[in-house]
A and B are shown apart, each in its own frame.
Chain A
């Protein structure tokens, strides 16, 4: 048993008779091994997929080294985003300032790689040593004739969410002054899809079939010119709303573009996303094509899902992901497999999100904000889960305890979005949960023994 730290108790809730109180949206507790990263991480993940821009991390080497080729974001063309550039500040620059090195690095990288834009990520110490990143960027922008955008992502200035905001502001700065290509009447922007394992392409294909034009995707398979043109769309469709709602709001205010929050994970949510867009345009042709698309896709995947369900019915799952909107979809997607969610949490959910999770989850479900490995492992044992859905840092926690795992984080190499993604998801869950290897797991044996002991005790009590 572990001791849950007092300060953490308000961020954990077990659905039951007590009134719902869950605090969130706060900085991680010092000494609690949070699974969250920092402001820089938030900015970096959002902007990362823009494939024809140079992404220069201004600071010592760590931040750039750890984010080299970190995401599974695919590009149909240039792949500059898969390179990791750093000003690699040393002690002398920390003392005398890093502006010169920033200027020289930017100039050199732009000369070498001829990008369409450059993003400069300010890391922790940049503000402290007083570098004027803004003016260096302005100078290079003028000299090189491409947008050079500073991203204020000093790690300590808030949480990952503040990093999302900084990234949204950087994207917003790119918009406008671009009139190439025509935009049809049903033009949308996809916000908050990062083309992990080609997911943007799956979604774009749906919209193509519906007769809806995708003006830009921010930022999956992202291109600078598309982003610049994005203000000409008539609807913003926002997935991963935690990261991109801020941008949608800014665009609504500046360009009058309305936005809708969607998710492309799972059958209902994908269908609802597409219908929502179709309803927005209220065009009979679009609506018909959407209905046809959803019908044929669901018919295509449903028989296979039913087979998976036969094997998985009655299993229990824990979910711990970055954004809570994804958690909603996962709870529903698991239900199709007959799997009950008994633990659900996120790094960055807000009060409304958790309220909604409470509504859709069964009694006894643990809802947790910004958890850590000790808590998570304890919850998993208490609830005796068969599956954990999370990211790289959660995977070994599950595996060590003999629990199946599905990677639903930004490093995944398997497309999980859309109808096709749902099928992949089911296959992924199935291939982990049903593997014969768990038979060897000591933790599984122990859990089984404990289960038997409890049954016997119950049996005796009944006698």
Chain B
């Protein structure tokens, strides 16, 4: 246990290993690209080598099982020496001609950032040279992959979009929602919830349709759906911005930017997984709804059934030990949920290093955090090693934990991103009472199944 007895690791403390072995994170341009695909008629443009966009596409397509077009400015050796301006402008031009987008979202890469490309200047030059009115909105997010993870890329892109497009107007009663990196099913449910609360919401990004659409009758250059540009413009006039995620507080977020520039108050609350976090989210929604609407009956019933299920299943989960990994906000939310059903999240890991991860985890644990380790800047080999020592009963996170689950014989509940070894990752519902219900059933049944399979009897009743 020597390694585990050391103080909890935090961003500034040394990593377990020098190199990263099986990363538990992705690079910033991926997060930015996902966020851009959540805007109506927007095409992401990765400013760097061809591989950056292709690898990101491949990774994302393997999860969403949807066409995901992400363009590249396709650096050559000469662009690396003389700058990528010409390539960027050419890329913008070709995208306008072929896709006719309303928005182009540029995400930079380690390459373009390291050579010091002045993307803002190139974009200005491009705009000046374009026919008046012909250029789409061009948004530029600075996302070198040596800074932060895909989550920083996501938030940087959302902030850049708001910064480029939001306008001040008189308060229009709408509510902005920055949901964090959730599944399309989650986004659809959040919209349903808002609407049931009588809240007119602008969700940014909204890839609930673009990354999980229907079968088509004709080819769509850019899959339909996404936050409309008009709605983004009006985000400066909202009554508030709900930003989901307990670690994304701070000056760099879109919510903070809207507050600073337009006085739209930010409301930061955790991703609503579990009863406690959903109650908090619903309270926030209620406070922002025009009629201060109480939780609608439909959700009261869902909550009631969830409590009923918690009770039905409590003995199968109590005292069980779980290992969690993934994006910081996601892990914090899952830890909160597990804590409230009596599962100890013995090891909570994220590949990100936001700094406040450990305190965010501790803040949601009501049943004591003394047995909980929180690791920032972790990787999957580190998580595997932790599992070898901690011998958890269950592992919860993306499909990237499958190798350790298989090796150690610990069951895995797939949640979050990416799910590369199953279909339907985009349709996993995690949030609110309904999503929690599904997660709870899966967690309980996974534990029951593990016991059943290991039993020499194989009881046919629980």
Contact = CB atoms under 8 A, between A and B. Distances in A.
Contact of B55 (A34, A63, A442): A63
30 contacts: A32-B71, A33-B69, A36-B54, A38-B49, A38-B51, A38-B54, A39-B51, A59-B110, A60-B145, A60-B146, A61-B26, A62-B145, A66-B59, A68-B400, A85-B20, A86-B19, A86-B23, A87-B18, A90-B146, A94-B114, A124-B109, A158-B77, A377-B219, A381-B219, A395-B65, A396-B68, A399-B215, A400-B66, A442-B214, A442-B217
A462 interface: no
A124 B49 contact: yes
Interface in B38-72: 45, 48-59, 61-62, 65-72
B333 to A, nearest CB: 23
A257 interface: no
Contacts of A156: 48-49, 75-77, 79-80, 111
Given A36-B54, A62-B30, A400 B72 contact: no
B172 interface: no
B114 A28 contact: no
Given A157-B77, A442-B215, 4 more contacts: A31-B71, A32-B94, A33-B57, A124-B49
Contacts of B30: 62
B9 to A, nearest CB: 16
Interface stretch (A13-21, A104-112, A223-231, A259-267): A104-112
Contacts of B445: none
A65 B25 contact: yes
A397 interface: yes
A83 B407 CA distance: 13
Chain B CB count within 10 A is highest, among A129, A396, A446, for: A396
A156 to B, nearest CB: 4
B115 A374 contact: no
B48 to A, nearest CB: 7
Interface string B191-230: 0000000000000000000000111111111000000000
Interface residues of A, number: 78
A446 B217 contact: yes
A37 B55 contact: yes
Nearest to A398: B67
Interface string A117-144: 0000001110011000000000000000
B110 A94 contact: yes
Contact of A84 (B22, B76, B80, B147): B22
A23 interface: no
A30 B90 contact: yes
Nearest to A93: B146
Contacts of A68: 22-23, 400
A158 B80 CA distance: 11
A101 B68 CA distance: 35
Contacts of B54: 34-38, 41, 393
A157 B76 CA distance: 6
B95 A373 contact: no
B196 to A, nearest CB: 30
Given A83-B22, A109-B19, A400-B215, A374 B73 contact: no
- The 9 A-B pairs at the shortest CB distance, nearest first, are namely A38-B51, A31-B94, A62-B27, A155-B49, A31-B91, A442-B217, A105-B19, A88-B20, A66-B55
A91 interface: yes
A40 interface: yes
A445 interface: yes
A393 B76 contact: no
B71 A373 contact: no
B216 A401 contact: yes
Given A30-B73, A40-B51, A129-B114, A400 B219 contact: yes
Contacts of B146: 60, 89-91, 93-94, 125
A345 interface: no
A402 B215 contact: yes
B74 interface: yes
Given A36-B50, A60-B110, A393-B57, A65 B27 contact: yes
Contacts of A64: 20, 23
Contacts of A35: 54
A39 B75 CA distance: 11
Interface residues of B, number: 75
A392 interface: yes
A31 B111 contact: no
A378 B71 contact: no
Given A5-B94, A30-B74, A62-B30, A128 B111 contact: yes
A202 interface: no
A80 to B, nearest CB: 11
Given A36-B54, A84-B21, A396-B61, A445 B97 contact: no
A56 interface: yes
B77 A61 contact: no
B217 A445 contact: yes
Contact of A83 (B50, B57, B220, B381): B381
A443 B73 contact: no
A201 to B, nearest CB: 22
B92 interface: yes
B144 A31 contact: no
B29 interface: yes
A66 B74 contact: no
Given A2-B221, A31-B93, A400-B216, A124 B110 contact: yes
Contacts of B48: 124, 155-156
Contacts of A90: 146-147
B170 interface: no
B82 interface: no
B17 interface: yes
Contacts of A65: 23, 25-27, 59
